[in-house]
Amino acid sequence: MEDNDQNIEPENQELLQDLSEQGKTEELVEMFEELPTMDVAEFMEEKPLEDTIAYLQKLDMDDQGRIFSDFTRDLQIKLFKALDRRLFAKIFGSMYSDIRADLYQELSKEEQIELIPYLDKKIREDVIILSAYPPNTAGGIMNTDFATIFADMTAAEALTKIRTDAPSKDMIYYIYVVDHTMVMKGLVTLKDLVMHEPQDKVLEMLNEFFVYAEVNEYRESVAQKIEKYDLVAVPVLNSLNQLVGVVSHEEAIDIIQKEVTEDMEKIMGIMPSENDEEYMATSSFHHFKKRVIWLVSLAAVGIISGMIINEYQGLLESFIILAMYMPMMAATGGNTGSQSATVIIRSLSLGEIDDKDWAKIIFKEAKISFMLSVCVAVLTYLKIAFLSFHSMLPPGFTMSTLGIVISFAIAIQVVTSAVIGAGLPLIVRRLGGDPAVVASPAITTIVDITGLLIYFTVATLTLGIS
């Protein structure tokens, strides 16, 4: 069966549905063996549980394991509870090792104890070892689907051993060379073995310089290595330099997607959760819990804005027009701060900048924001001087004067907002935290407060009214 992660093709689903409705079971099973695994898994998930079980049992065990690996965790658990333990153990043993370990951890202790006696010794040892690693480390995401050979083998002997190890076709590109204690010595590619003469030694084609991950290395770092060096997979070594697993590029893509989602949620003030599911599959109360903490906290901090406005009530009564431009002041500051924060957080995540360079970063953002402030100030002045109502001014003041005051205040706000937006993530990173947590909502609230202080301070000093 073809196994890949391409998008689900609607025409494949229609074809499978037509065969199902016509009762052409044999043709349907043949299509299961030809279509991408994900297409077949999605089709089966739409069927009643008993139909899914019946379809699975018509396939060989390898195909059952691959399809089962692509089912949602919810369906995997339902099938575990519905199937005979001996039958489930066979499917379980044919799953991808990393997904198998994840599923095992989802089972209760009682369910794990029920399953263990039916597993082959190798599968039992494998799942217990993989389940022992923290999920956010290389050990927690690695799988054991790889082939190993020895340096003193010939190309022909190596190919024979690879057939015995029988790794999946997705993991057969890199062949790892180890000694008899599994200490990694290097790697060769399948192309190397095929292109060399059968009697050539593996040692002659050995690549001793390779990228690897440590078993306790953070998973995001592993994904970055795979992305940086454009690898199909990266070997995972323990403290003794023994090969214990590999992390594939598919896993790296999943990690990057999860990290991007997590950062997006943090940027928008949503608390990430380890057990997040798709939007519609997540309960309303769970969504509420993820959002309420930041929202309520920032609303409480926002009370300070009201206190500032109340303090300058006399100024607003004399210059009611100042109230008209307060939303513009807040929006400009919030947008500027969010832009700076987003750029800095992204650059920190990609490793393009380091918090040690904070002075250079802040200076650069200040230069950028100064240019932006000139544009915004000019636009604001033109709007006030030529499009505002003069009747809103007290005697002795002109729109031109007020335009200069407000434009100057907004220009300062743009610069300070950019510096705050760039500085807060750097400070949080410096303190060992996640920069994303101080992004959009937090920065918007902070620059709202600083903006009002700047706005009223500039107006008080220039207009001579308190």
Mean pLDDT of 288-314: 78
Q: pTM of the full predicted structure? A: 0.60
Residue 389 in this model has a pLDDT that exceeds 80: no
Mean pLDDT of 13-37: 81
Residue 382 in this model has a pLDDT that exceeds 70: yes
Average pLDDT for the chain = 84
Mean pLDDT of 362-386: 92
Percent of the chain with pLDDT over 70: 87
CB 95 within 8 A of CB 69: yes
Q: Name which of 20-29, 103-112, 227-236, 263-272 the model is least confident about.
A: 263-272
What are 343-361's pLDDT values in tens digits?
888 888 777 888 888 999 9
Which pLDDT does position 237 carry in this prediction? Answer: 95
Which pLDDT does position 279 carry in this prediction? Answer: 61
What are 229-248's pLDDT values in tens digits?
888 899 999 999 999 999 98
Mean pLDDT of 359-383: 93
Angle, CA of 338, 336 and 408, to the nearest 5°: 155
Amino acid identity for residue 76 in this structure = Q
Dist. CA 352–CA 421, nearest whole Å? 17
Chain centroid, CA 55 distance in Å:
34
* Superfamily of domain 284-463 in the CATH hierarchy: SLC41 divalent cation transporters, integral membrane domain (1.10.357.20)
* Length reported for the chain: 466
Which pLDDT does position 7 carry in this prediction? Answer: 45
Parallel/antiparallel/unpaired status of strands 148-150 and 174-178: parallel
- Between the alpha carbon of residue 122 and those of residues 91, 96, 101, 125, the distances in Å are 15, 14, 13, 5
Residue 15 in this model has a pLDDT that exceeds 60: yes
Mean pLDDT of 129-147: 88
What are 36-72's pLDDT values in tens digits?
888 888 889 888 999 899 989 888 898 899 999 999 9
Residue 261 in this model has a pLDDT that exceeds 60: yes
Which pLDDT does position 4 carry in this prediction? Answer: 42
CATH code linked to domain 148-255: 3.10.580.10
Tokens of 80: 């575990």
* CA dihedral sign, ordered 178, 158, 251, 104: negative
Which pLDDT does position 373 carry in this prediction? Answer: 95
Extents of the domains making up the chain: 10-136, 148-255, 284-463
Q: How many CB atoms lie within 10 A of CB 262?
A: 17
Closest of 219, 229, 231, 215 to residue 182, by C-alpha: 215
Tokens of 53: 């079980």
Mean pLDDT of 210-227: 91
Which pLDDT does position 201 carry in this prediction? Answer: 94
Residue 298 in this model has a pLDDT that exceeds 80: no
CB 255 within 8 A of CB 140: no
How would residue 277 be classed by pLDDT, with cut points 50, 70 and 90? low
CATH number, domain 10-136, options 2.60.40.1180, 1.10.760.10, 1.25.60.10, 1.10.10.10? 1.25.60.10
Dist. CA 124–CA 206, nearest whole Å? 33
Q: Which long-range contacts (CB under 8 A, 24 or more apart) does 452-457 make?
A: 452/305, 452/308, 452/309, 452/326, 452/329, 452/330, 453/308, 454/409, 454/412, 454/413, 454/416, 455/322, 455/326, 455/329, 455/406, 455/409, 455/413, 456/308, 456/311, 456/312, 456/315
- Between the alpha carbon of residue 121 and those of residues 89, 105, 124, 181, 352, the distances in Å are 12, 18, 5, 20, 46
Per the model's pLDDT, the better-predicted residue between 259 and 231 turns out to be 231
What are 414-458's pLDDT values in tens digits?
999 999 999 988 988 888 777 776 666 778 888 889 999 999 999
